[in-house]
Amino acid sequence: MIVCVCKGVACSKIRALLRDGVDSVEAVRASCGAGTDCGSCRSTIEDMIEEHHETSAPLSTLRLGRASASL
Ligand code: FES
């Protein structure tokens, strides 16, 4: 799926950047150009960054039910 229509950047490209340590909209913009034209994709990029942080958080920071894991 294309996230940035203006620059033709797919979500797979942005996910690859996030896996490689890119962690801000500005860094995504600098790396692949997504979000550098009309800007309508920036909120989607922000959502992808947030989702990436949530799913790649260390186990010790995840809440498991009512209790937090303490490793
Ligand atoms: S859709 Fe990404 S800058 Fe326009």
Would the CB of 41 count as within 6 Å of ligand 1?
yes
pLDDT of residue 56: 84
CA of 5 from ligand 1 middle (Å) equals: 5
CA–CA separation, 54 and 40 (whole Å): 23
CA of 28 from ligand 1 middle (Å) equals: 12
Would the CB of 35 count as within 6 Å of ligand 1?
yes
CA of 10 from ligand 1 middle (Å) equals: 11
Residue in this structure with the two tokens 């034209």, named with its chain if needed: 37
CATH of the domain spanning 2-70: 1.10.10.1100
Phi, psi torsion values for 67, nearest 5 degrees: -105, 155
pLDDT digits (tens, 9 = 90+) for 13-26: 999 999 999 999 99
Beta strands in the chain (DSSP E): 2-4, 9-10, 63-64, 67-68
pLDDT confidence bin for 54, thresholds 50/70/90: very high
Nearest to 29 by CA among 56, 50, 57, 44: 44
pLDDT of residue 48: 97
Q: Where are the domains of the chain?
A: 2-70
Does pLDDT of 64 surpass 60?
Answer: no
